Structure 1
Amino acid sequence: MKKLIFILSLTFLFSCSKPEDNQPSISNVVVESVTPTYGYAGDEITFNMSENLPSNSNVSIFYGTEKAIINSVSDRKVKFTLSAINGLPEMSLNGKEVINTHTFSYLSKFIECSGCKEKVYPYNDSNDIISYIADTFEINNTLYLIRVTKDSKQNYKTYLINTDINFNIIKETLLFNEKPLSKAIVENNTIVLNIPNTVFSFDLNGNKIWVYTLSSISQQSSDNSILKYNSYYYVIKSNINDAVNNLHIEIAKIDHNGKYISSIFIPNPSSTYGQWANSIVNINNKIVVFTSFCCGTNNGGHVVIDINDKILKNVMGLINVRDSDPFIEGNSVYYGNYANINNTQLIKITLDANNDFKTDWIKDKLLGGIVV
């Protein structure tokens, strides 16, 4: 089945205000922290306040028209249950709005697994997000989340979270001090992830199995930069064709032990524009690399590689799959075009027998987002 990714990330802002005369006296109260910093509908969240709140304090939290369930107000803690999100959050204390800057990520992604609840999580790397879930998978009724955090200096950390089928956290393990450039490749109880210039393999407890380090001159920034194909891993080692700096798109081939086998070098089909790789995918048992060109053109391109690592097609054309995580079904590719924020598009293209892509249809004016 297809996964629906829906991004929701909320920032709580609370302001201080003077209490009404007939309400308990609370001065300069703020929310010092939120525990946990991410959660699902139905989870209990705790606001840790800067001052004790009288037990008869009138606390309410709304998400648009949806009201959160206040479970308890005790000392410095306000505990409540997340309800369905329908708008921005507003919290009031004794009838007055209370403001403070604390970020909470509302988690939301449909996960398909036997016997588990459907949950949702965000994938968002904007500057105001300090934590997000980049991927999820299930093995033997244990759910695994790849969680990424970011501090104010844009320093990243990536964690492996083990949960039960009800999303109770069993274990959280730091994998590396970077953000991943790929979805997790999960096979035989191992996890393979790519960060800039390095590929890691871990077991399901987060223990490192092997590491493949790309050369220091590599220019790797694609968000979907590794593919498992024909028992090997294919990694976008360098994603830029740059004649001035003698760079080229290079796909490195490594085995299941992280040993380098060979490389595929992709020439630039244009003598005018620079070229870079956006993503690498498997379409109808062929490796396909989607590319874009710079500067002064909106054209894109694609490279088709066969099972023997031979380049069958390398063209520049009107189809530009900039989406780093396109959805693949048979010979067809579904991807989003977000270039015009007033007209988000969903596009379907199909790879034909000549290894060319043809546009099947374009759905315009999807202002509410794209659902595949």
Structure 2
Amino acid sequence: MFSHRTEPVVESARPSHMLLIKLRRAVSVAVLAASLTALSTGCGQDRSATGAPPSDSAGGDHSPSTSGTGVPPSTGGSPSGSPSSAGTATTPVQSGAHGIESRVVYLSAGVRRPPAVHSVVNSELELSRFPSWFAGSDPAAAREIAQRTQKTDFSRNVLVGWVETTGCSQATGAALLASGDRLTLGVSQPKPKPECLVAYQVTVVFEVPRDRMPKHPVFGTGGAAATAPSPGTTVAFTYLNGATAQSQGLKGSEVTQPAQLNAYLAGLPAAGASAVRTQLAAHSPKSGERRFGFKLSGCRSTGAALLITPEGRVSASPTGGENIRCIRPEIYAAVLAVPVNVLPTRVTAID
């Protein structure tokens, strides 16, 4: 009997299918690059998360990281729960802005509302004070920023810290952009959902090679000057002639209320107390601020800076004259004002 046998048919490769896959991948890369956008303001859902890349801020190799669009790829972490299918927010980047060589060492996004900070940190001393900005609004961020930046090599690099509103959706990554001396912040973020309840903020710290930083940086489209590396404004500072550390004591105290200020001034030499009162008269107390008075030991100092810990300890140190040595330390009186939203809910110690 004659039997008919059917040979198996081997399908040939489908070049058109492979090309389609490659095309989709190319489009995905292009969309990711376009997602690094200039910031817009607005509101978003009440949902927070934190993401950050691995930290090794020892000042390692800084190979260029700018994409073909002139915008560096996002290196921030991806917060859990971020909608991955909601599309990408796109806001035009300032004309002429390009990616500046940098590395994200810390990034978090949410609705905690930290102070609006855009600071350049140039030294280990400034870095020791910088986390104070977040001691009240986000103590965990203050600790993590200190941990992630502790190995920064300031002989080669600086740090740029930036807090900004991102509108109705939560940032998933960030890049530092520059146009001349103007720095702007680009973010990658999902398209916002229709409902808009609370504004999102992003907190990011970049490590930037010194030779890549603008000489006189300004921040944002408005060209704002950099904020100080630590919070607080010195409203009075004077040398206490004839005072010694042993005779005066160096413990600080709160001086927000008139009775507190009088008690602080009573512990100063008469000439020093008079000088402090005169300087304070030119700086009337503002709503929503607290003031702290200190007696500091230094050498040819010109001012003071605050240090605030997440645990609620407030202290100050003299600035200027850090590289000068004295046979006998000089004693200064300093009064610093700080917004209440920077401070922890409970101040546990002042020294």
TM-score, scaled relative to structure 2: 0.24
Compare CA radii of gyration and give the structure with the larger one.
Answer: 2
Structure 1 or 2: more helix by fraction: 2
**TM-score, normalization: structure 1?**
0.23
Richer in strand (by share): 1
